[in-house]
Amino acid sequence: MKEFDGKVIRVDGNRVVLDQTAFNPRGGGLVSDLGRLGDSNLTEVIKENEEVIHLVNDAAPFRLGESVHGVLDWNRRYRIMKMHTTAHILSAIVNRETGALITGNQISPEESRVDFSREAFDRDKLTDYIKMANKVVSRGVPVTTYFMNREKALATPGLVKLANAMPPAVTELRIVQIGDVDTQADGGVHVANTKEIGEIQVRRTENKGKSNRRLYFTLR
Residues that bind Zn ion (CB under 5 A): 186, 188
**From CA 7, how far away is CA 18, in angstroms rounded?**
5
User: What's the burial of 110, exposed, middle or buried (CB within 10 Å: 0-12/13-18/19+)?
Assistant: exposed
**From CA 77, how far away is CA 31, in angstroms rounded?**
10
| 82 versus 118: smaller Cβ distance to Zn ion | 82
| 45 versus 191: smaller Cβ distance to Zn ion | 191
Q: Least distance from C-beta 11 to Zn ion, angstroms?
A: 31
Q: Least distance from C-beta 92 to Zn ion, angstroms?
A: 11
**From CA 6, how far away is CA 53, in angstroms rounded?**
13
Q: Least distance from C-beta 28 to Zn ion, angstroms?
A: 7
Residues 206-216: b if buried by 16+ CB within 10 A, e if exposed: eeeeeebbbbe
| 115 versus 186: smaller Cβ distance to Zn ion | 186
| 174 versus 195: smaller Cβ distance to Zn ion | 174
Q: Least distance from C-beta 125 to Zn ion, angstroms?
A: 24
In this structure, are residues 21 and 2 in contact, taking their beta carbons and an 8 Å threshold? no
